[in-house]
Structure 1
Amino acid sequence: MNELGAWLVSISGTPEGARLATALALISALAHAIFGAMQKGRYDPWLTRGAIDAWLCVLSAPVALFVVPWPDLTTGLILVGAIIVHFAYKVTIALAYERAAYTVVYPVIRGTGPLVTVIAAALFFGEYFTVMQWTGVACLSGGILLLAVRNISEEVIDPRTLKLGLLWALVGGILVAIYTTYDAYGIRQTPNPFTFLAWFFFVTAIDFPLLATWRYRRAQYQPVLGPLVWRGFVGAIIAWISFGGVLMATRLDKVGEAAVLRETSVVFAALIGWFIMGEKVGPRRLILICLVALGAVIVEVGG
């Protein structure tokens, strides 16, 4: 793993690294769409996330403790910050899912995230997009947010509850940008990127299993744990692919481009809903999905 990590560091910033980063970002997008579909409405979002994080701890601990090098002081301090940022993100997302439908909340989070991330990448990493790339970002984020507007029109819940859900989703999108930028800084400061990845998944997943256990014990209705545990295991594997893929992409190439490409998860999510879950897409949604895909292509070609 040390040799693989050294090779990845050696191709960072090269055309080969850029091609690999693009592939990892798109794989991450597909995995994230599957991850989102798994969380869609069957269980309390706090319990679902707790089950996923519990398995992330179990699966990541042996790698962190016995395979990769232990983090140095700098990496350790960065990981402490990552715990705080990701805990805030997970709480925000759970609050949003409690108050509004997944199909409304998810596009707002994913549409806000890349736009803010591109701005943050310019400020902290000196990355600058061309006019064509900004056009692509506008197409992608605009298409995703318009999907949320389209889905809001079908909501029948209390307007105040919907507004709270949208507010939490907007905060969640900003936190996506914050953790994407922060994690990109962290993995770039660690000599072996796999050290950061393994310890990141281990330490940032400790909090929610404890919180979920507390909520489960206090709940009036306690769901059967077997299916929830299985869902958590599958979700943890997908999380490794999704979050690990985009983190490695930000190590290999531009943070902003990786963030934008990852948000094509909305396209994959729609395709999963259409072809696998039997959901109706309709012409308006199809046009907006195509706009999102077009935006990602423009960002990639415009660079």
Structure 2
Amino acid sequence: MNAHTLALVLAGAVCHALWNIVAKRAAGGTLFVWLFGCVSVAAAAPVALVAWQLHPQAFDRWMWLAVLASALVHVIYLLVLQKGYRAGDFAVVYPMARGTGPLLAVLGAVVLLGELPSALGWLGVALVLAGVFMTAGGATGAAGGDAQRRRRGVLWGALTGVCIAGYTVIDGWAVKSLGMAPVLFYATGLAFRTVLLAPWAMHQRGALRGQWRQHRAAIVLVGVLSPLAYCLVLFAVQSAPLSYVAPVREMSMLIGTLVGARLLKESLKPSQVLGAALMLLGVAGLALA
């Protein structure tokens, strides 16, 4: 991987960590998700239009089904993630979500598709599990209300990981099996997510305006940084193998844990840092397996 590609991947990891930190600080709900989704659609649309002009692609019914399924799971993922950020600490929820997602995706491939990981893949699974237990151990080792908050963070982080695994499997099916162009698939999914939540948002226009006034800067930042993080990785994959890009991208896990805890003034136990590092190594092993 050359220096230019490495810079793209690291920039994508930073963008991913930053938008999650901003979303945690905003502590918004469904309306926040819908509003930053609208910004994301506006930001991604020009890129998707250029991609379609360069490589036009007609969607068949299976492609539309994949887009709709991915959009639905992404909506659930974003709502669960926001609930997790309101219920637990960022330094617990974020690494739990980022670590358990790839782990569950691999286990789902084993159970549903009959795929068998290599020895390195199984080592990655073991390291992610160890990291999860380290993070959960930090939660149970706390006292009083802090312990309860950390346990909620572990639970919601794990549920977020389930959603990540779900859309990872769907997205992989769409891009690899159906041959959908990644940028077009992503942008269309963004539009579908916004449409799915639109009726609910329109029934709360007063609250919607209040949410915009209160969190305008956060909405714009998350709405721009989220698709930007994805596009940076796509550009990197064009010049380097995915097996190299994926583990470097997971640096967002450590960046988010360390920087997020500091910016949000959360207590950070050594076990949480070690747990995030183990999950990072495990995800790298899964990517290289």
The TM-score range, normalised by the shorter chain, is: 0.7 to 0.9
Deviation string 1:96-150 (CA, Å, 9 cap, x unpaired) is 3343333333333233212111123445667543223322332234324522442
Q: Does the 8 Å CA contact 1:113/1:176 hold for their aligned counterparts?
A: yes
| 1:204-215 correspondence to structure 2 within 5 Å | 204-208=193-197, 211-212=200-201, 214=203
C-alpha distance 72-298 of structure 1, shift in aligned 2 (>3 A): closer
Q: Say which of 242, 248, 259 aligns to 1:272.
A: 259
Residue 24 of structure 2 corresponds to residue 40 of structure 1: yes
Q: Secondary structure at the match of 1:205?
A: helix
Query: Under a length normalisation based on structure 2, what TM-score does the superposition of the two structures give?
Result: 0.74
Q: Is the 8 A contact 1:139 1:295 kept in 2?
A: yes
Amino acid at match of 1:129: P
Please tell me whether residue 190 in structure 1 is matched to residue 174 in structure 2. no
Distance 1:131 1:106 in 2: 27
Aligned 8 A contact 1:82 1:183 in 2: yes
Q: Deviations over 1:154-174 (max 9, x none)?
A: 671695x87666544433221
- Residue in structure 1 matched with residue 226 of structure 2 by the alignment: 239
- Determine helix, strand or coil for the equivalent of 2:117: coil
In the alignment, the residues of structure 2 paired with residue 71 and residue 123 of structure 1 have an alpha-carbon distance, to the nearest angstrom, of 32
TM-score (ref. length: structure 1): 0.71
1:56-95 matched pairs, under 5 angstroms: 56-64=40-48, 68=52, 69=56, 71-73=58-60, 74-95=62-83
CA drift of 1:214 comes to 4.3
Pair 142,29 (structure 1): closer, same or farther in 2 beyond 3 Å: farther
RMSD between superposed Cα atoms in Å: 4.1
The equivalent position to 2:88 in structure 1, one of 89, 100, 105, is: 100
The answer to whether the 8 Å contact 1:143/1:291 transfers is yes
Query: Counterparts of 2:105 and 2:202 in 1: how far apart (Å)?
Result: 33
CA distance in structure 1 between the aligned counterparts of 2:271 and 2:218, rounded to whole angstroms? 32
Q: How far apart, in 2, do the equivalents of 1:145 and 1:111 lie? A: 11
Shift of 1:182: 0.6
Q: Greater CA deviation, 175-184 or 241-250?
A: 241-250
Q: What is the correspondence of 1:214-293 to structure 2 with a 5 Å cutoff? A: 214=203, 217=206, 223=210, 225-226=212-213, 228-244=215-231, 262-273=249-260, 281=268, 283-293=270-280
Q: How does 1:7-46 map to 2 (within 5 A)?
A: 27-46=11-30
**Aligned letter for 1:52?**
F
- Matched with 1:200 is 189
8 Å contact kept, 1:144–1:292: yes
Deviation, structure 1 residue 277: 6.2
User: Which one-letter code corresponds to 1:201 in the other structure?
Assistant: L
Counterpart check, 1:112 vs 2:100 = yes
What is the rounded CA distance, in whole Å, between the counterparts of 2:263 and 2:89 in structure 1?
20
Cα distance in structure 1, aligned partners of 2:13 and 2:129: 15
Contact 1:60 1:202 survives alignment (8 Å) = no
- In structure 2, what residue type is equivalent to 1:217? G
Identity in percent: 23
